[in-house]
Structure formats: C-alpha cells, structure tokens
Amino acid sequence: MKKFDTSVKKVDNEEKMAGLAIFTCDIRMDDAYFAVQVRSEKAHAKLKGIYVPKLPKDYYFISAKDIVKENVVNIIASDWPVFADKKVNYIGEAMGLIVGPDKGMCLYLASLCKGEYEELEPVFEMKNSYVHKEFTKGDVSKFKNAKKVFTEEFTTGYQEQVYLEPQAMLMYMENNQIVVKASMQCPFYIHKAIVRTLGCKESDVRVIQPAVGGAFGGKEHYPSLMAAQLATAIVKVKKPIKMFFDRKEDITYTTKRHPSKTKISAYMDAKNNIIGVKIHVGIDGGAYIGCSMVVLSRALIAATDVYTFENVDISGDAYCTNKVPSAAFRGFGSPQSIFAFELFINHLADYLKVDRMQLRMKYLVKQGDVTSTSGLFRDPIVLKELADKAMEMSDYKHKVKLYAKDKSFRGIGLSMFLHGCGFTGSGESDLIKAQLRIKKDKNGIVTFYTSQVDFGQGNRTTLKRIVSDTLEIPEDQVIYDAPDTNETLSTGPTAASRTIIIVGGLAAKAAAHLKQIWKDGEEQEIIEPYVGPSYIKWDEAKMQGDAYPGYAWGVNVVEVSVDPITYEVKIEGCWSTYDVGHAIDERILMGQADGGLAQALGWAYLEKEVAENGMFKQKTLADYSIPTTMDLPNMETELIDNPFKYGAFGAKGAGELTFVGGAPAFALALEQAIGRKVHDIPATPEYIMELLNHEN
Amino acid sequence: MIQHFVPTTLKEALKILDERDCYIFAGGTDLMVQKHRGSGLLPNFDKDILYVMNIKELDYIKTDAEGNLRIGAMNRYCELINSSLVPDIFKTVFKEIASPNIRNMATLVGNIGNASPAGDSLLPLNLFNARVVLSSVNGNREVLVEDFIQGVRKIDRQKNELITEVIVPKCDLNFYYRKIGSRKAETITKVSLMGGYKIEGGKIKDLRIVFGSISTKVVRNHFIEEKYQGKSVNELRARIDDIINEYDHELKPITDQRSTMEYRKKVAKNLLRDFLKQVK
C-alpha cells in the first residue's frame, strides 16, 4: 500500500492566491437579468394575495402562479414550496421574484411588493413535532430496577455557516438546455430540483460548477430552492438570470445549524453500575422539514457518543417552528447530541462521586461492541491510544489536577468522539448508487469524472492523487475537472464526510480496474458502480442495524482562562488526535483539523444567533462574531494510522469529525475554570456572568 | 442629480459647504456602510458629497506653544498610530479599532462626527478634555468633544461647518483602558472604560473616568471626579463601593443584538472597581 508520505501543493492554490479563480459572481454575462426575492414579512399567515406595483417594461413578477409542474423543492421531505402559495410559514419566505435588467430597480420594485396577509398564531418554541424517531437496544424494562436516576438537559444554538462566498446562482439557456452555474455542494441536487419543478427531461438541464468559496453544508440544499425559482422564471423571461445574495440577506434568510435541546437520564443499580441510558434529542427544524429527519437520525445514532451501554432508549423529534428552515451544517446533528452526552457523562461521574475519566473509560466503546442501533463496531478502535496521546501532548493529567485546586480561572477539558462516514445505513448502495466514469485516450491521458465539489477542502487534489497513484502515472497525466452534469455521472453529494471514504474508494477501484485492462494506444472507458460492504444491513423505519460503513474517531483537549472581571474567555491551547484511517495528504487534513476545531469553538462560545419573533437578531458579521486568528492559539494535531479496508488507501472521512468534539472539550474546560456546570452553548460572557451569579 | 466635490483647499471646501447641504466624506468607512445598497450597486447617497481627503492643509500632526497636540482633520488612524507626538494611550485605543485596512482609511475626525455610542476614540478625547475646531466661511469656533457630541449620531455642527482640527491638551496621568468586544479583534465595543489619575504626596491630584457603550454618549461625571480630588489614596480605596454606587444612575446601557443591559452594567462596574483598585 502506498503511504503518501508527502503533501503536495493543492491544485487550486495558485488560481485562488492570484485571484484568478472564477466564482459565480465573476462570470460576465452582460445581457443577464437580475432576480430579487419578494419575501414574507409575517411568520405565519394566510396569503390572500400579493400586491405588485405596475412593472416597467422588461420587469417581471414570478410567483406560484408561474409554476410549470410542481411547486416543490426537491429536498428529501419535499415539503418546501418553490414560492409560498396561499400561506407563508416564516419571515423571509419567498412569495415571488422580481426579475429585470437592473438590480437596483429590482430591489426597489421588490420593496414595493406586499403580501396581503391574514395572520395566524406563529409557533417559535419546540413543541410541534413533525418528525419523531425512536429505538431501543437491550432491555429497557430494566430501567425500573434502578436505585438511582440522574437527569440533565442541554441546549445548543443556531450557527451560521459564514462561507466566504455568499449564495450565488447564474442560469441561462444554451443548446436547448437550461444551464446553471452556482455556488454549490451538490450539482445533482440542483439538477433534480429543476427537473422536478419544471417536469422536464434530465437532458434538458446542465449544471456546471465554477469555483466555490466555502459551503459547510449551507450550500447543500438552499441552492436547490434558488434553482427551482430561477428555472420557473427563465421559462417566462427567456433571458439569462443572476441571483446573488449579499451577506446580510444570506445570514438573515438562508439555512443554519439546528438549535437543539437534549434530555438524558442514566439509571444506576445499587453499586453505581449504569443499567442504561435514556436520551431524547429535540431539534428546531424551522418552517419546513427539508432534510431535518436525516439530521435527527444522525443526532440519535450518535447520542451515546463513544460509550457502550447494554440498555439504551433513544428518541427524538424535529419540531416545526415559524422560522427559517434549519438544514445541513458540518456534523449534521451529531455535534448537538455528542455535546450533550460528553458533558452528561462527566456530570454523572460527579453525581456518583467517582473519577470522571475512570467512569468514561469504563464504558468506552471497544471493537466488537454493539452500537446503539444494534449494529457492530467491526473495525479496530484506537480511541484509548488517541486519548493517551492527546493527554500527553497537552499535559492534561497534570493540568486537570492543578486547575481543580486553585481559583486560577483556568481549566482544561477533554472530549472523545466519533463520526460515522458516508450516508446513513444502506443509503450509499440504495439511494445514491454512485457511478464513476473514467476514460483513457490513445496517448494514455486519463480523465475521470465525479460530482464532488471542491469548495476549499481539497478534494480536487486528493481524488486526483488517488487515481494517479493507483495507476502509477504522473499527476499531470490525469485530468480531473470540476463537475459538469453533461459529462459526469452522479457520484452523489459533497456531504456527510463521504467524499474520500466513498468516492475516493470508488475512484481507486475504478483506477485499479482501468490498470488491469490497460492497453497502450487504445481509447478505453469504464463506468464503475459503488458496491458497499456486504455487512451493511439497515432498517431505517426501525433505526436498527449498521448505521455507517465506517467510523472516524477523535480526541480534543481545550484549555481556557476566564477573565473574572469581564467573563471573557481566552482559548489558551488546543490539542487534537484523530483516527481518519490513513491520511492521503496530511497537510490537507491539518487544514480540516484547524478549521473544524475553530468553527466548533466559535459555535461553543462566540457565535450567537437568536431568533426573536421569528426574525434573526444578528444579521451582519459585525453582530455575528466568528473567531479570528487573534482568538485562537496554535493548534497541535496528531494522527494515528488505522487504515480502513474499504476506503481509498485506508482513508476514512475527516471533514466533519474535526468539528464534533470542540464544543464539549471547551465546555468542560470552562466548567473547571469557573467552578460551575455548563448546560448551554454558546457560552458567551453574558451566560458565564449568569452562571457565576448563581451557586452551583 | 447628486454632485461630487473634491476640493484641494479648505477655502474651497468651506465655500461649497456654505452653498449646499453635503455629506462630508473623509475616510468613508462609516458612510459607505450606512449607504450600502447591495453588491454591484452604487451606494444610496441622496444629497451631494464633499470629499475632503485631498485638502493637504488639514494633513498635519503638531504640538503648539502651550503643549497641546493639534491633529488636522485628514489624519487617518494608521498615521496617528505611527506618530511620535500622539500619546501612547491614544495609540492603545486606536490599535483596537476595527482592522488594519479600515485604520488605513478611517480618520479620527470621522469617528467624532459619526457620534456612535460605541466610538472608541471618544473615550480618550473626552478624558483629555479635547476640543474640536469647527470652521466655516464665518470663521472658527472651538467646542469640547464632550459637548460636541449630544447623543446618538447627534452633534453640535451647523450645516456649513467642517471639523478641521482636534486639539488635545497635555495630560500627564496614569491610565487604565479596557475595551470589551465579542472577540479579540475587529469587534464593536460592548462596554469600555478609561480611567486616569495622578497622585501627589499621597493625595489624589487628578481623577478622571469615562465609560463607553454604556449610554447614548460617553459617560463622564465631573462632579464625582472633583469630589475625590484632594482625598488621600487610602480614603479613595476605602470608598470604592461608594464610588461605584455614585455612578450607578449614570450607567444606562441597553440590551441589543451584541449584549445585554445586565452584562454591560455589571462589567462597567467591575472595570471601575478594577481601575480604582489600581490607584496607588
């Protein structure tokens, strides 16, 4: 097996550094019209009609009345309309578009449009469930024999993705096709959304990916809404159309991380052994389900984090509220439930008056353990080694005692976590059915196609390396361009940490296949279908079986100090260890490690987004603070090699893993620094002041 | 149709200002944000604009015969930070304002004219009893910065007047300054405090305290400050709780998207205590 001991220069380094990369907004098309959304001002109301001013020549109002086939955005639940019709369900919901040649005029005309509403009672709290899931493991009737029960509740807040490039889309007609260039994660999601709303043929639509400036899940679903809207408009307007969001619009009206509320109970026997745990995770899905049921699934499957209990009762609800729909964001539900469980097990140790680390180690998952969904942890687990390494790097054992003793307003916290790679259960084999096309010309130049988007994480470089190294040919003999749906078959969305473990594995397999049949001087082409591990059996309705083909593991240690005068937190140190199987390019992985942890820490203590009466209060980057380099220390990260047999060259997923453990490690450190239990994030100075005002 | 004026002399500028109602554009770092309409669109200016950045005669930093620092209206933060004439405490404040790229454009006078409750430069200006010089075709007048700013975006300026200079009197004190934002850089102040004191022979010779982001304008109470002048350091330290109570009614923060009333008030008092404990 090739070891990939060197890191290479990312293929997009130069064009990005020199400002040469062409992002959607950079694409010049002088005859293009602009589209501006006409948005609901009410959180919940019957929509009796929409007042539209008399429009100048060449200006159009596009609404539900113009829908060609189906007024539905093709996002998993298919409940989100392209344009609100007869009812609005959140402030900012699009009721229509103003389309025309001048953007300023479009904005002005849109500001004159008004919904005619009959207001309904809005719901902002998590009380109306629209998706419920539950499953058990072992025998939960044993809970009633418990001698002690310990229960706690935890909450987490919204998080905005703050990708560098806001949402942007350009649509035009060319060769009898609707062509889309956009800031995106999933070209085929956009493709399907257009085909569905227009009822057209698949060959009528072409999606091409330009340079994309960050995504983090925020461009997984929202671009499908924009695409369905612009497609409806282009049928009528018959001109190229652009829709570019400004930062404020993007923060105010596009999807965010689900806020959550988790309740956990542990049941103990007379000897303080844990009989089992009961967990309920609630997530705020906003006005439409979209992908919330899948986010909920992941939150529930990860709910016992890296611990094994014999008897487990897990349930959860996604709640409908009259707010902007929540959707994908790095981690996809699991950061919320893992945050809760990591804090809970530490608090439980305090309640039982036993050593925190001892209790955690007692229930730590081992190879061969049964997962919460009654699947198996089949592969070797090196979590203990990861924890030992992280403790050594951070001097954890010494510091955790030192800071417990004095009132230094300093603390250190350690989190352990996992992330299931790829789509849940048999989703890869049954739903996505990735197919990878690879071809070779007479001169031996190899071209391969995926639908994976490189939005900065480096997969253009990594996937290319996988193919060239498998074929044992120089990298410049391999061509791998950004996705174009006219050329590539679907290898699935760029999501769920599946790019390297699934598509990378598929690319390696296709390349190995091509190598086998390689004939010099001939044109050759292979279409390689994805075949999942045969052991994966998953029952989605019952939430039983093997939830993921493989798991990546990690440990974060965070050290903080707190200013007793201002309650401000300073991150003093961050140390991480990860098992991502085998890293294909270590430097790219370090980029994910630093970025993921920084983003997680932002979620944990800085990034506060609050909805008041259905409207976000923080609408700009002046009010929604993400960490700067000044807020973060140098981060130290080490990897432990543990190759995964189904991944390319032993690689597993890494993109989301690096986000999952930051918040609990931070919160545990903060708890020690202030001598109070933390149950909620973001732990802003305002929250810390309140904690300090109250006795523990 | 909006007209743009780019004079190169003060005389020209004052004449234009006398004839028409203009936005005055120095660094533009507040104005361009306030008038922003959307990417790819011109900003939303609804009246004429007078650009003053080319008036060379307003580009100076000097000390006058009385030892006052005189700063011309065109001086940007980056220049002030690098000037040997500017007191260190001003530099400390300036270095925490916005980001290097903003500081390369923004002027001190602009921060005064913008009159934001969160304007950081207003704290040292207030504490130093700094004055602004307002010029018009009719001549000049001087106003204390403390009086010039009347409330949120409310200033004592006539339509035909231009702020041409800031006069900072010499002030030889020990200083304390804390700016509390939501993060360590590029952050808007949630609450801030600057204190200054001088001890002679164990007695308080001078005591000054200003709070930022705690009311509609910078809070300073001369009555409380003067009350403790001449008192011994020990007495001051013994009465820290009283002093904090005396400021209680002055501190009227709000809850907004950046922080809460409770936090701002509590931290303002904590900072005051921290400052007073350092007086020795």
Domain with A461 in it: what CATH number? 3.30.365.10
CATH of the domain at B227: 3.30.390.50
Alpha carbon of B246: minimum distance to chain A alpha carbons (Å) = 20
> Domain end: B101, B133, B168, which one?
B168
Residue type, A47: L
> Domain end: B168, B199, B217, which one?
B168
Alpha carbon of A25: minimum distance to chain B alpha carbons (Å) = 10
Question: pLDDT tens, A120-175?
Answer: 999 999 999 999 999 999 999 999 999 999 999 999 999 999 999 999 999 999 99
Co-location of A45 and A115 in the same domain: yes
Rg (CA), chain A: 25
Co-location of A474 and A591 in the same domain: no
Closest by CA position to A335, among listed A664, A687, A670, A668: A664
- Rounded-to-integer distance, Cα A250 and Cα A93, Å: 13
Give the DSSP per-residue string, A292-313.
HHHHHHHHHHTTTTTB--SEEE
Co-location of B156 and B56 in the same domain: yes
Co-location of A172 and A310 in the same domain: no
Co-location of B39 and B146 in the same domain: yes
Residues whose CB is less than 8 angstroms from the CB of residue A17 and which lie 6 or more positions away in sequence, other chains included: none
Instruction: Specify whether the CB–CB gap between A91 and A40 falls below 8 A.
Output: yes
Residue of B nearest to A606 (CA): B182
Co-location of B157 and B197 in the same domain: no
Task: Give per-10-residue mean pLDDT for chain B (280 aa).
Answer: 96 98 96 93 95 96 97 97 98 97 97 96 98 98 98 97 98 97 96 98 97 97 97 96 97 96 98 96
Co-location of B124 and B178 in the same domain: no
Instruction: Specify whether the CB–CB gap between A643 and A650 falls below 8 A.
Output: yes
Residue of B nearest to A567 (CA): B267
Instruction: Specify whether the CB–CB gap between A303 and A372 falls below 8 A.
Output: yes
Token pair listed for A634: 């140098």
Q: Has residue A74 been placed in a domain?
A: yes
> Is the Cβ pair A104, B42 closer than 8 Å?
yes
- Per-residue confidence (pLDDT) for residue A3, from 0 to 100: 52
Alpha carbon of A608: minimum distance to chain B alpha carbons (Å) = 9
Co-location of B189 and B138 in the same domain: no
Classified as helix, coil or strand, B61 is strand
Residue of A nearest to B273 (CA): A565
> Domain end: A472, A496, A529, which one?
A529
Tell whether A151 is within 8 A of chain B (Cβ).
no
Whose structure tokens read 């007869």? A86
Tell whether A689 is within 8 A of chain B (Cβ).
yes
Count of other CB atoms within 10 angstroms of residue B170 = 11
Question: pLDDT tens, A495-516?
Answer: 999 999 999 999 999 999 999 9
Alpha carbon of A369: minimum distance to chain B alpha carbons (Å) = 43
Range of the domain at B112: 4-168
Q: How far is CA A247 from CA A23, A162, A548, A604, B235, in A?
A: 16, 9, 36, 22, 54
Alpha carbon of B278: minimum distance to chain A alpha carbons (Å) = 14
**Residues, chain A:** 696
Closest by CA position to A420, among listed A577, A549, A296: A549
Alpha carbon of A207: minimum distance to chain B alpha carbons (Å) = 24
Number of separate domains in chain A: 3
Residue of B nearest to A632 (CA): B184
> Domain end: A190, A221, A253, which one?
A253
Q: Is pTM beyond 0.90 here?
A: yes
- Rounded-to-integer distance, Cα A556 and Cα A386, Å: 9
> Domain end: B117, B150, B168, which one?
B168
Q: Has residue A45 been placed in a domain?
A: yes
Co-location of B60 and B179 in the same domain: no
Co-location of A328 and A439 in the same domain: no
Q: Has residue A23 been placed in a domain?
A: no
Residue type, A691: L
C-alpha dihedral over A301, A302, A308, A311, to 10 degrees?
Answer: -40
Element (H, E) at A350: helix A334-352
pLDDT of A696 > 70? The answer is no
Instruction: Specify whether the CB–CB gap between A123 and A611 falls below 8 A.
Output: no
Question: pLDDT tens, A38-73?
Answer: 999 999 999 999 999 999 999 999 999 999 999 999
Closest by CA position to A372, among listed A156, A133, A653: A133
Co-location of A359 and A274 in the same domain: yes
Co-location of A393 and A504 in the same domain: no
C-alpha dihedral over A511, A513, A517, A520, to 10 degrees?
Answer: 0
Write out chain B residues lying below 8 Å of A619, CB-based: 257
Co-location of A205 and A306 in the same domain: no
State the pLDDT confidence band at A1, using cuts at 50, 70 and 90. very low
Co-location of A217 and A268 in the same domain: no
Residue of B nearest to A631 (CA): B184
* Residue to substitute from B36, B183, B192, interface A, most A β-carbons within 10 A: B183
> Is the Cβ pair B41, A565 closer than 8 Å?
no
Please, what's the b/e burial string for B106-143 (b: 16 or more CB within 10 A of its CB; e: otherwise)? bbbbbbbbbbbbbbbbbbbbbbbbbbbbbbbeeeeeeb
Co-location of A663 and A558 in the same domain: yes
Co-location of B203 and B131 in the same domain: no
Co-location of B259 and B150 in the same domain: no
Co-location of A178 and A234 in the same domain: yes
Range of the domain at A608: 260-424+544-693
> Is the Cβ pair B263, A618 closer than 8 Å?
no
CATH of the domain at B19: 3.30.465.10
> Is the Cβ pair A565, B267 closer than 8 Å?
yes
Phi-psi region of A272 (alpha: psi -120 to 50; beta: other; left: phi over 0): left
* Residue to substitute from B182, B213, B261, interface A, most A β-carbons within 10 A: B182
Question: pLDDT tens, A419-465?
Answer: 998 888 888 988 899 999 999 999 999 999 999 999 999 999 999 99
CB-nearest to B188 from A566, A622, A628 is: A622
Number of separate domains in chain B: 2
Q: How far is CA A21 from CA A11, A278, B39, in A?
A: 12, 50, 19
Co-location of A395 and A441 in the same domain: no
Co-location of B182 and B268 in the same domain: yes
Q: Has residue A22 been placed in a domain?
A: no
Interface size A-B, in CB pairs within 8 Å, comes to: 65
- Per-residue confidence (pLDDT) for residue A406, from 0 to 100: 65
Tell whether A628 is within 8 A of chain B (Cβ).
yes
Q: Has residue A140 been placed in a domain?
A: no
> Domain end: A236, A253, A270, which one?
A253
Tell whether B271 is within 8 A of chain A (Cβ).
yes
**Residue A53 DSSP one-character state:** P
Classified as helix, coil or strand, A550 is strand
Co-location of B164 and B201 in the same domain: no
- Rounded-to-integer distance, Cα B168 and Cα B59, Å: 16
Tell whether A567 is within 8 A of chain B (Cβ).
yes
Co-location of B149 and B178 in the same domain: no
Mean pLDDT for all residues in chain A: 96
Write out chain B residues lying below 8 Å of A685, CB-based: 180, 263, 267
Alpha carbon of B140: minimum distance to chain A alpha carbons (Å) = 37
Co-location of B200 and B85 in the same domain: no
> Is the Cβ pair A625, B259 closer than 8 Å?
no
State the pLDDT confidence band at A81, using cuts at 50, 70 and 90. very high
Q: Has residue A135 been placed in a domain?
A: no
> Is the Cβ pair B270, A103 closer than 8 Å?
no
Tell whether B109 is within 8 A of chain A (Cβ).
no
State the pLDDT confidence band at A4, using cuts at 50, 70 and 90. low
CB-nearest to A104 from B37, B182, B271 is: B37
Co-location of A235 and A276 in the same domain: no
